[in-house]
Copies of this chain bind each other. A is one copy, B any other.
Amino acid sequence: MNDRTTVSPSARTTIRRLPELANHDRAMLYSIVDEAYVCHIAFAANQDTHCIPTAHWRKDDYLYIHGSNGSRLIKALSAGAQASVAVTLLDGLVLAKSAFSHSMNYRSTVVYGQFEVVQDSAEKLAALDVFMDKIAAGRNHEARPGNSKEINATSVLRISLAEAAVKVSDSLPSDKDEDLDLAVWTGILPLKTTRGMPIHAESGEHIAVPDYVKNWAD
């Protein structure tokens, strides 16, 4: 069972390949989910298995998504399809002395379970506020809020993070002893998601530029 600070593996979240990379820290799980904007969801519908990317956010111990009521993803998950949700952050390419010892550094989680529909309107709006805060803190109070038609056409779903595998690779290359003397460069080629200069859709002094836009670019 999970307590509030750790992630305990179930049969299907026990990491069997490179088990030394398994991470059982719930704070790490949360940081991965929070840092990524997009997750991938696997589910079965109409005899096919699908892998669909979608925006996500987290509130407490749940990963949330939203979408149009009519979308295949939302319909299948609302109907209780078994789901697997992957969130992956790639941190670098790891170059070793031998071809087969090359690897990647990453932080990733795979969550198993079923989504539940957030039915209550107030809860739904509160959840969407958390999403907006992830995109741009404070924008809740600037953009026009959803009207009842928009809110009713949109579903908000959530899945518990109770059953999650977390795997983190953050290391220098690991080579076999017999390869260590080879005169081959080894190291890490880092990769990172960075924030570029905002693109203004409109010009005009009547529109204040919010701090989260001014401060966006790395």
> What number of A residues sit within 8 Å (CB to CB) of B?
89
Q: Are B98 and A146 in contact (CB under 8 A)?
A: yes
Q: Which 5 A-B pairs have the closest CB atoms?
A: A42-B42, A190-B196, A42-B51, A40-B40, A98-B144
Q: Are B93 and A135 in contact (CB under 8 A)?
A: yes
A150 at the B interface (CB under 8 A): yes
A51 and B189 contact, Cβ closer than 8 Å, known pairs A88-B40, A99-B145, A146-B99: no
Q: Are A144 and B48 in contact (CB under 8 A)?
A: no
- State which residues 98-126 of A face B: CB under 8 Å: 98-100, 102, 104, 106, 108, 110, 112
Contact of A12 among B48, B189, B213 (CB under 8 A): B48
- State which residues 130-173 of A face B: CB under 8 Å: 132, 135-136, 139-140, 142-146, 150-151, 154, 172-173
A34 to chain B, nearest CB (A): 15
Chain B residue numbers with a CB within 8 Å of A106 are 38, 53
Q: Are B99 and A132 in contact (CB under 8 A)?
A: yes
Chain B residue numbers with a CB within 8 Å of A108 are 53
Q: Are A209 and B190 in contact (CB under 8 A)?
A: no
